[in-house]
Amino acid sequence: MLLSPPLAVLLLGLQSALCLGLGGQNLWLLKDKVLRSQEQRAQRYLLESWKAFPARSKGGWTEPREGFFPQPLDHFNRRNNATYKQRFWVNTELWEREQGPVFLYIGGEGALTPYSVLAGEHVDLARKYRALLVSLEHRYYGASINPDGLTDQKIQFLSSQQALADLATFHAFISQQYNLTRSNTWICFGGSYPGSLSAWFRLKFPHLVYAAVASSAPVRAQLDFTAYNKVVSQSLSNPIVGGSLKCRAAVAHVFSRLDQILKGGNTSGLEADFGSCRKLNGSDDYGEFVSNLADIIMGTVQYNQETPDNSIANLCQVMTNHSLGSAYQRLVLLNKNYMASMELKCVDNSHQNVLEKLRSTEVKPYGVGERQWYYQTCAEFGYYQTCEDEGCPLSRWMTLQSQVGVCAQIFGIHPGSVQQAVYFTNEYYGADHPESSRIIFVNGNIDPWHALSVLKNQSSSEVAVVINGTAHCANMNPPEDRDPPSLRQARQKIDDQIGIWLASAHQYPW
């Protein structure tokens, strides 16, 4: 079926190249906004690409094929015959069938869409190298889940190990469907948690995938992720992205004041000034309150310049502008601007409401999966972004105990078990020393998640690319005129490396 570009654009949705982390509810809302912004960038890019190929203007674009195929619910227990239907997309438009490679885009913590095979760095590379584009939605996210999948009994089958086994089965399925041979070299791509999966697929299934690109991949699990807010602190101070020491100091000062007010227990002024939907009821609500405010700072750093109004430079212009009043009043203004951009009448700071949302087993085949991702942090990764050390510029109410405690309340996973799960994950995959080959680890040094990735070459074929001044998964977006030289150079280095690897695959069949 052929689509005109405008209709193809309408079919685009949200991609999942975002590491969810945890944080408060504001960070989840910001993630959705960033995803919508990425969708709009993809729309513009597709229209521009369409205009650049006038030969296609009469017929339009070929709609990527959406499909579902049965996957075992449990790959590691053959007595369990249960299955679920996993969603995928295929784009054959750029493919040279005889020897063209296969570029696999790996889905993550949210619904996958046709965007995954229509636009992005991997699609630009596929155009150059004449690749078959395929993408696979992660089990238990989007539409790739059974109606009872989020129950306490069934959510146990959600894991990175099961997801990698899904990729192996998908490899066989696509190979059969399109009569692929060893001449069709597979390379996988992923960003954030899918970036880790991309590296791990190459690590655990080297006979199936020849090389991998792992962007912003937090391959080292960590229970207490204190480094996240250390990078936030450094980024707020970095003049390259519009930060300054004065900005960092103003942020630290105002959160210290908030902590003092909360310690005193008189929160009526905070509730009014920061638009709380209801009265703050005890320490659990206090934690949600400061987490939601911290999300504005953390999210701005993690997604710097992903949306027109979301940048470290804009944040610091407000926080260092004394004409706007005290640092407290400047944070009030930042919060008001955030609420306006999200069209929020008030901010929900109820911890009980958060727990109720995480307990919900209703399956929603769109957006991000909050219950699913929190379960994965409890059962595998940790990644809890805390602020209990002196170097953190945010609130000391953001504690490890409060975040790990949710694992026990929602999933019955004891804090000690979370620590053991993190230890096992690092032992199973090798953390930030995976001892693999033909993997490119790409990170921006503004992104807080780069602290858990591979930042130095591990070998001649485990290559680290660190991009100065860019944030989370920046290299995966379609190129724009405003991209800094460091980002352009990184994309070229990735392109060159893939070209070398594809040439070696054809010269020395693997």
CA-to-CA distance for 55 and 57, rounded, in angstroms? 6
Residue 12: pLDDT above 70?
A: no
Q: Which residue has the higher pLDDT, 24 or 60?
A: 24
Q: What is the dihedral of CA 443, 446, 448, 449, to 10 degrees?
A: -10
- Tell me what the pLDDT averaged over the chain comes to: 90
Catalytic residue, chosen from 135, 144, 160, 192, is 192
35-39, 71-75, 183-187, 323-327, range with the lowest pLDDT? 35-39
Q: What's the rounded Cα separation, in Å, for the pair 413 and 374?
A: 11
* pLDDT for residue 50: 60
Look at 44 and 334; give whichever has higher pLDDT. 334
Q: Indicate the pairing of strand 65-72 with strand 102-106.
A: unpaired
- Say what the pLDDT of residue 37 is: 67
Asked if 447 is an active-site residue, the reply is yes
User: Tens digit of pLDDT for each residue in 128-178?
Assistant: 999 999 999 999 999 999 999 999 999 999 999 999 999 999 999 999 999
Q: What is the rounded end-to-end Cα distance, in angstroms, of the chain? A: 36
**What is the number of other CB atoms lying within 10 angstroms of the CB of residue 508?**
7
How much is the average pLDDT of 402-416? 96
The pTM for the full model equals: 0.92
Q: Give residue-wise pLDDT tens across range 279-297.
A: 999 999 999 999 999 999 9
- Rounded Cα distance between 116 and 91, Å, is 10
**How far is 216 from 470, CA to CA, in rounded Å?**
11
Amino acid at site 440 = I
Domains of the chain: 65-220+432-507 (3.40.50.1820), 223-424 (no CATH)
Q: How far apart are CA 180 and CA 99, in angstroms?
A: 9
Mean pLDDT lowest among 212-216, 332-336, 506-510 = 506-510
Question: Rounded to an integer, what distance in angstroms lies between the CA atom of residue 360 and that of residue 229?
Answer: 30
pLDDT for 51: 60
The token duo for 361 is: 């087993």
Mean pLDDT value of segment 29-48 = 69
Q: What is the DSSP letter of 257?
A: H
Q: Which of 447, 450, 453, 486 is catalytic?
A: 447
Question: Quick one: what percent of the chain has pLDDT higher than 70?
Answer: 89
Query: For the residues 449-470, what does the mean pLDDT come to?
Result: 96
Whether residue 55 is predicted with pLDDT greater than 50 in this model: the reply is no
Among 59-63, 89-93, 268-272, the range scoring the smallest mean pLDDT is: 59-63
Answer whether residue 195 shows pLDDT above 60.
yes
| Residues 26-52, mean pLDDT to the nearest whole number | 67
* Residue 26 pLDDT exceeds 90: no
Helix then strand then coil, in percent of the chain rounded to 5, is 50, 15, 40
Tell me the two tokens of residue 235.
């980024």
pLDDT in tens, 376-389: 999 999 999 999 99
Residues 6+ apart with CB under 8 A from 317: 242
Instruction: Indicate the residue type of 153.
Output: Q
Q: Is 192 a catalytic residue?
A: yes
> Is the pLDDT at 466 greater than 70, yes or no?
yes
- Are residues 284 and 326 in contact, defined by beta-carbon separation less than 8 angstroms? no
Q: Quick check: 10 pLDDT over 50?
A: no
Among 69, 72, 89, 223, which residue's Cα sits nearest to residue 161? Answer: 72
Whether 341 and 29 have beta carbons less than 8 Å apart is answered as: no
Positions of E strands within 93-164: 102-106, 132-136
The answer to whether 510 and 184 have CB atoms below 8 angstroms apart is no
Q: Give dist(CA 181, CA 507) in Å, integer.
A: 15
